Structure 1
Amino acid sequence: MKLAEALAQRSAAVRRVEQLRTRIVGSARYQEGEEPAENAAEVLAQSGEVLDELERLIRQINRTNSTTLIEGGGTLTDALARRDVLRLRHSVITAAADAASGRDQRGAVRQLRSELRILSALPVAELRAQADVLAKEIREVDALIQRTNWEIDLIED
């Protein structure tokens, strides 16, 4: 099985656990004299099985990520960390540019010449240019990760 397939299975398992959790909560209590919609104990047992499978998948995915070398050096885990930090960095830079440009302040337009002017403490154009460079780098790292996910076989137990 390819790593990308295991990632899709992991995602499906997480969704399934959430669905089972909702069903358990909905059937955990019922009114005297009525029957619950489902047997909560059986649904709870199902969730245990899905969670065991999820743990197995996560272990295999993590093992594969930590041992798979990618082009440019480093492991797939290193690339994932790089992408996560790039996304956070992009978010911070974009938020700074938005705040400095007044984009996040609705209705903050001067009405009279006597009102105080609001000045930018940061170079908005430079921040936007940095955000563009970061966005490109995120796309490149993400493409490398996605390509690797479809090329690499999952390390099985």
Structure 2
Amino acid sequence: MIISENKDTAIHFPPLPGGIAVEGDGFGGKTAAAFDWLTGARHLLYWGDIDAHGFEILNGWRDDGVLVTSILMDQDTYEAYEPFGTSTDRNGKLLKADAPKALAHLTDAERVVYENLLSPALPGHRRIEQERIPLHDAHAAVLRAVAASGLAIEAVPSRR
């Protein structure tokens, strides 16, 4: 299962055998945590924008007990897609350097990217919207994450 920060990405995500893409709908996963079919998924992945807000949402899901693994929110992805980024928020307001929040549920690698995005020394864009990353690249990232877990994606029999 993949949780996407943005609705359009979830709606248009390529098919995955036995998988589903859902919209994350803002901060945290209190509502989602109530659904055993979601929290009990063999693979629970989160894909958000590479910006401070995206990492704060990721932290919120984990804080609510939804143990997601992030994809495409790492330094290599930032570097690959930074030319397609922006330094404004969704309302056109300039994103500025700021003090990082204490996000207790980020991995060390996630925290490095989060803090870099807020650093006054950042030479690039402060935001890479997930819509700037081709869905075939996201699909491949899901397959890599599943393979790295050692568990296979199981095909779901068709219901005819």
TM-score, with normalisation over the residues of structure 2?
0.21
User: Which one has a larger percent helix, Structure 1 or Structure 2?
Assistant: 1
Greater length-normalized contact order (CA 8 Å, ≥ 6 residues apart): 1
TM-score, with normalisation over the residues of structure 1?
0.21
Please identify the structure whose Cα radius of gyration is greater: 1
